[in-house]
């Protein structure tokens, strides 16, 4: 009997498949160095006659990569992706996460969806871009530590700001089912450290309970989240149409019969453009410092709250008529655009003066999960996207600048 299922599956190019397999094999979990992958890409591009620039982190253990295909003297189109992936710890994988496996028209592996497949297809297409004259350059931007708060790409953007020429437009290939995304929420995440005073639990009034103080602040955050759910502002184009406020981690105390002298918790705001993260945070701090801290410090003046920024990135909100939006729609062959609740590096590119959209293979529903996958159909759509881009950057194309 013929394998009709396999017959219906789209074929992807061998070079795309091989590059996806190569990139997945690098364990670039954010806690690890990404230099093995970055050096592989640098050497791969060098074999094509392209010189890549590495922008390292302060410790030298990680790096962004920037390379230009084509003319060096004019702005062009950046294809951007992060090289790090989230951990597989405590996830119930049924296959090797660092080796691509295929089943049912899907490629499985950590990073296949988020977001090494886009990077791989762009890299695999590099020889095609270079096979003829380019009137508009293609810039490759690879970053580190996106998954832990977009910590790597600011260094790359600072480097670009010092250059005489930098990209004119940017496409960030996060998983959007190859749909053009023109807006996403911003994010601010914080840690709050609560210092109390330890005491025997039988003498609880003589101590300062750091966990209970933290719980009161978390209660306010919960109330603020409910306010946003009920009152907005709202934008129905998002799957979650309002700002969200979330507490995701708490730790503190020693044991039950000791009044806890310390507590730490982490929280975040994922906000619409109409909301100010600074104003939201100011409300939380004011409540802690004015409503809770005085009673704590009446018992122990050293007790109280300290605040630690963890990460932040701006939202993205492009005008429908923006040049990069028109370009991305032409490359996908669709006039539809959308908005997403998850954050990307596109907001940072846009804030730096390089307008950016988000468009890449795979569904965010598969990201960060065990048995992460991308479909062959999505890879094939990404390949066609690159084909159309190649046509537009040739002499006579419409992506000049």
Q: Catalytic residue positions?
A: 84, 146
Instruction: Report the C-alpha gap between 140 and 80 in whole angstroms.
Output: 6
| Torsion of Cα atoms, 167 then 171 then 174 then 178, to 10° | -160
Residue 311: which of 212, 189, 225 has the closest Cα? 189
Q: How many other CB atoms sit within 10 Å of the CB of residue 330?
A: 18
Q: What does the DSSP assignment read for 270-326?
A: EE-TTS-HHHHHHHHHHHIIIIIHHHHHHH-TT-EEEEEEEEEE--EE--TT-HHHH
235 three-state secondary structure: coil
Beta 169-172 vs 101-103: how paired, if at all?
Answer: unpaired
Angle at 181 between CA 18 and CA 332, to 5 degrees: 55
How far apart are alpha carbons 387 and 364 in whole angstroms? 24
- What is the spatial distance between Cα 251 and Cα 263, in angstroms, rounded to a whole number? 6
Which long-range contacts (C-beta less than 8 Å, at least 24 apart) are formed by 248-254? Answer: 250/214, 250/218, 252/194, 252/210, 252/211, 252/214, 253/210, 253/211, 254/198
Question: Can you tell me whether residue 128 is helix, strand or coil?
Answer: helix
Name the phi and psi angles at 349, rounded to 5.
-60, -50
| Structure-block tokens of residue 84 | 């790090």
Question: How far lies 175's CA from each of 12, 25, 271, 362, 368, in Å?
Answer: 18, 20, 20, 5, 12
* Tokens at 294, concatenated: 């005085």
Question: Is the distance from CB of 355 to CB of 169 less than 8 angstroms?
Answer: yes
H-helix or E-strand spanning residue 247 = strand 244-252
CA gap 401, 135 in Å, rounded:
9
């Amino acid at each position: 009997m013929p394998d009709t299922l396999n017959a219906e599956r789209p074929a992807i190019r061998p070079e795309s498949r091989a590059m996806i397999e190569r990139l997945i094999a690098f364990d670039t979990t954010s806690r690890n160095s990404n230099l093995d992958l970055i050096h592989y890409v640098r050497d791969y591009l060098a074999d094509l006659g392209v010189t890549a620039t590495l922008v390292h982190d302060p410790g030298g253990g990680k790096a962004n990569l920037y390379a230009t295909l084509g003319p060096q003297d004019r702005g062009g189109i950046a294809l951007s992706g992060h090289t790090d992936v989230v951990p597989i710890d405590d996830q119930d994988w049924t296959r090797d996460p660092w080796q691509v496996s295929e089943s049912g028209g899907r490629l499985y592996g950590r990073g296949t969806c988020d977001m090494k497949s886009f990077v791989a297809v762009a890299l695999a297409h590099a020889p095609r871009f270079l096979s003829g004259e380019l009137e508009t350059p293609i810039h490759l931007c690879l970053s580190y530590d996106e998954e832990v708060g977009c910590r790597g790409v600011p260094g790359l953007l600072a480097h670009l700001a010092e250059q005489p020429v930098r990209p004119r437009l940017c496409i960030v290939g996060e998983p959007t089912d190859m749909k053009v995304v023109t807006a996403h929420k911003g994010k601010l995440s914080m840690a709050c450290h609560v210092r109390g005073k330890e005491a025997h639990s039988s003498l609880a009034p003589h101590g300062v309970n750091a966990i209970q103080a933290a719980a009161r602040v978390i209660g306010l955050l919960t109330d603020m989240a409910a306010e946003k759910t009920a009152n907005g502002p709202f934008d129905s184009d998002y799957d979650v149409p309002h700002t969200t406020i979330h507490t995701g981690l708490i730790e503190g105390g020693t044991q039950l019969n000791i009044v806890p002298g310390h507590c730490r918790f982490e929280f975040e705001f994922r906000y619409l453009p109409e909301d100010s993260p600074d104003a939201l945070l100011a409300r939380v701090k004011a409540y802690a410092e004015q409503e809770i801290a005085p009673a704590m410090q009446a018992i122990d003046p050293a007790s109280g709250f300290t605040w630690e920024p963890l990460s932040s990135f701006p939202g993205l909100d492009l005008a429908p008529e923006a040049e990069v939006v028109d370009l991305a729609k032409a490359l996908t062959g669709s006039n539809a655009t959308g908005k997403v609740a998850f954050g990307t590096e596109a907001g940072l590119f846009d804030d730096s003066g390089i307008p950016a959209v988000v468009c890449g293979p795979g569904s965010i529903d598969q990201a960060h999960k065990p048995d992460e996958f991308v479909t062959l159909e999505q890879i094939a759509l990404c390949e066609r996207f690159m084909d159309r881009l190649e046509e537009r950057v040739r002499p006579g194309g419409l992506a000049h600048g």
